[in-house]
Amino acid sequence: VVERAQEVLIQDQEIQRRERELEATVKQAADAEKFKLEKLAEATRNKTMLEAEAEAEAVRVKGEAEAFSIEAKAKAEALIMQQKAEAMKEYKDAAMLEMYLATLPKVAAEVAAPLSQTKKLTMVSSGQSEVGAAKLTGEVMNIIAKVPHMVKDMTGVDVTKASHNFRELFQNGLRNKLEMCCLSVKADLFGATLD
């Protein structure tokens, strides 16, 4: 009976030893796997944070560059407008005439634009006036001919009268003044020197 009790005790101790050994082996492996997973998760989190920070920095730098570009463009446009205003102040009607003449082709294009979309045009005549393309061209020209009157009504500048004086003003330095104005604007924008 004592022998049997000792055998049971030894078996119990062996079972406990094996359980501890198994627990140590399994627990160590589980702890190692847990540690590995924690480190991987931490590395992934760090990588994600670094990528997000880098992307945010890139967006910030790009935004600053765009803001600088917009600011430089706005300053250039303001400078050009200021130079134009000074030239217009000096030459008043001639400057308005120059703007009018520069705009006239655009007006003609806008007046004629709807006609370019026309697929079929039927013209009816009573026989007392032009017909066909001549009539159509005449209508466009009539609209364009009214533009000087509209300019005078809107701005107070009589471009017809101003056009008679334009050649003299142009020959007496308007062209040189406008060229110097443009060169001055370019020099201010790009740091160039005027020759």
List pLDDT tens digits, range 39-94.
999 999 999 999 999 999 999 999 999 999 999 999 999 999 888 788 777 766 66
Confidence check: pLDDT of 188 > 70: no
The verdict on 115 and 129 lying in the same domain is: yes
Confidence check: pLDDT of 22 > 50: yes
- Please indicate whether residue 109 or residue 181 has the higher confidence score (pLDDT): 109
The verdict on 96 and 81 lying in the same domain is: no
Last residue of a domain, one of 61, 90, 119: 90
Residue 195 lies in a domain: no
Looking at the 3D structure of the chain, how many domains does it have?
2
Secondary structure element (H or E) that encloses residue 132, with its range: none
List pLDDT tens digits, range 89-120.
776 666 666 777 777 778 778 877 887 787 87
Give the pair of three-digit tokens for residue 142: 């009539």
Domain boundaries, position 120: 92-190
Cα dihedral angle (42, 45, 50, 52), rounded to 10 degrees?
-170
Residue 81 lies in a domain: yes
The verdict on 83 and 150 lying in the same domain is: no
pTM above 0.75, yes or no: no
Residues shown for the chain: 195
Q: Using DSSP, state whether 76 is helix, strand or coil.
A: helix
The verdict on 80 and 120 lying in the same domain is: no
* Cβ count within 10 A of residue 190: 8
The verdict on 73 and 143 lying in the same domain is: no
163-178 b/e (C-beta count within 10 Å ≥ 16 → b): eeebeebbeeebeebb
The verdict on 85 and 111 lying in the same domain is: no
Confidence check: pLDDT of 159 > 80: no
The verdict on 100 and 161 lying in the same domain is: yes
The verdict on 29 and 82 lying in the same domain is: yes
